[in-house]
Amino acid sequence: MNGRNVKELGAILILHYLANANESQPTGKTISYRQLPGGNVHYPAFRARVTEDIGTVFHHHPSQLVAAAELIGGRKQEYGDASVMIPVFPKLPVTVIVWRGDDEVRGSANVLFDESAPRFLSTEDLAAVGTFLVSRLLNARAAIVRDTQSINTV
């Protein structure tokens, strides 16, 4: 996803979030994409576009997930080998968890939504939130890697 597409997707998500604004508050209980209304049907696409991309990029270096998330307003959590909670919108926290792989088990990731998320965005929009987060995390990671490389070449 290029920068222009990310900005357009972000703008659309903002409009949808504001259109559904209400007094609901996050509960602090997380659910998987599969648990969202209709999420089980669309989960294979969500997994391919979101969780597998995050797992592929971060499972070798889970600490990079935390560093990248902190650049976009995320906070470290205590799940898996690395995890973060990213407040995508004021009432829409998203948790990203990464597990390291080894010789026998492939590394993986999961993206969890607060159970109140469907009160603010449709399941389709929440899939787009996942895609948006992947792009933001990958861009933040790239900036960290660039900064590290420039420091090492000085």
Angle at the Cα of 70 from the Cα atoms of 92 and 18, rounded to 5 degrees: 25
Per-residue pLDDT, averaged over 98-110, amounts to 89
Residue with more model confidence, 134 or 9:
134
Q: How confident is the model at residue 127 (pLDDT cuts 50, 70, 90)?
A: very high
For 44-103, what is each residue's pLDDT tens digit?
Answer: 999 999 999 999 999 999 999 999 999 999 999 999 999 999 999 999 999 999 999 888
Percent helix, strand, coil in the chain, to 5, is 55, 20, 25
Cite the beta strand spans of 34-142 per DSSP E: 75-77, 82-89, 92-99, 108-114
- Cβ of 151: how many Cβ atoms within 10 Å? 8
Top pLDDT among 73 and 148 is at 73
- Among 116, 48, 52, which residue's Cα sits nearest to residue 88? 116
